[in-house]
Structure 1
């Protein structure tokens, strides 16, 4: 298995279920197997949404620890990240804060966690994660998010800025990417940028990230099809297709 740093992060499941695609990994065992295959295909890290026993996304320490431990056992040394999407706590920022605080009791905490600037409680959550030595991916969805990040106290302490183009047609996604990247560039020294799209913008934005030498990601969370629009078999199929575009 390759554990050297690659430009591709595999986003294995997101909010999807097997109703979306039969190979979406949900259980710790499935996440471990999907991570192993994605790494064999060339991924350098993974991003997962842990699930509870009923398959619902969860930030509860029990389910986060089980998911992270399973992936680490399958892929020793692989950086493992999780989402902290506010929706997982019913939109309640205080409940999310209290839930994530309990990660301090876990032996297997994630290496990094994505935290969206557009969600309430960003600053508090970054402080908590930093105290636990969990790196923060600052999720930036818009120019406004970028300005908020740059005007705050964590612009330079995050492990990366996650520039995400969500629910946008390709042309608009690429234009917004330019605007956000320009803001970050003009601000001077910032953490590494991981640029990615979702849905129909996935492949155009991935190509842009690769052309600019930026980190990017691919996986069933972001798309179920290859660049030609044909359905893919699984996460590692997507990773292979993405890496083939780096040549």
Structure 2
């Protein structure tokens, strides 16, 4: 049964997915990340571009979107004005599509207090401009307070877990998450699966609640889409994570990546 954030039945490792024939797994489109526009001609930056890519990604099979809104100069931003403009544009272009944002600490130059103040500023936004969920990296200081601020705003927390240490930190907090993002960032794609299983296994050992979403950034991206399909876990793909298809082929944008990922998941019955 899907909830408002688009996750489905529980698969292995407590994840959302199609285990047991429950239907397609959640596939989130990560539209832009912190990439520069020069990295890909279709990389969306403005609210209008984000909206266009979100609509195309949903048509290609995305269950939700994740984005890094920008200010007028094209810099990643957590300000209420920039968050609200991007979320509003996506909601108008793709009504009902669950929409999330990043809270990466680098956006405030590593300043924990400035990040918290920016997120608290979202309280001034009307409901249709608040994201459904926001990712919070457990490796960054201040995550506990930030999660509490998001909870007060009614924004779901996606816990970004990059390592076994992050899994242990999450277990120690008892934070209630809409999803646990098991994120393998770079490195050798041949070691990506065992690295992912080390994190997933530790989350299970510690009985951390919440559906799992497994994905990789850069070289491990396609390897972990396939592994998520094998496990029946939610996953994600998009220009934030990878700029080409599984064989290194060029792609026109996020929709192409979503279509390729959906095809690979469908081949595993997901």
Deviation of 1:188 after TM superposition, in Å, equals: 2.8
Match of 2:156 among 135, 139, 143: 135
Secondary structure of the corresponding residue to residue 32 of structure 1: helix
Q: Deviations over 1:53-105 (max 9, x none)?
A: 01000000000000000000111111000000000000000110011000011
Secondary structure of the corresponding residue to residue 245 of structure 1: helix
Mapping 1:54-93, distance limit 5 Å? 54-93=73-112
Q: Which residue of 1 aligns with 2:255?
A: 236
Structure 2 unaligned regions, length at least 5: 8-24
Higher relative contact order (CA 8 A, sep 6+): 2
Match of 2:39 among 20, 34, 42: 20
Q: Distance in 1 between matches of 2:140 and 2:262?
A: 32
Query: Structure 1-normalised TM-score?
Result: 0.96
How many pairs are equivalent?
Answer: 243
Secondary structure of the corresponding residue to residue 77 of structure 1: coil
Match of 1:116 among 108, 126, 137: 137
Deviation of 1:4 after TM superposition, in Å, equals: 6.7
Structure 1 unaligned regions, length at least 5: none
Runs of 4+ in 1 over 6 A off after TM superposition: none
Q: Which residue of 2 aligns with 1:172?
A: 191
Q: Distance in 1 between matches of 2:148 and 2:207?
A: 23
Q: Which residue of 1 aligns with 2:211?
A: 192
Q: Distance in 1 between matches of 2:239 and 2:136?
A: 20
Q: Residues 189, 164 of structure 1: CA spacing in aligned structure 2 closer, same or farther, 3 A cutoff?
A: closer
How much is the aligned-residue C-alpha RMSD, in angstroms?
1.2
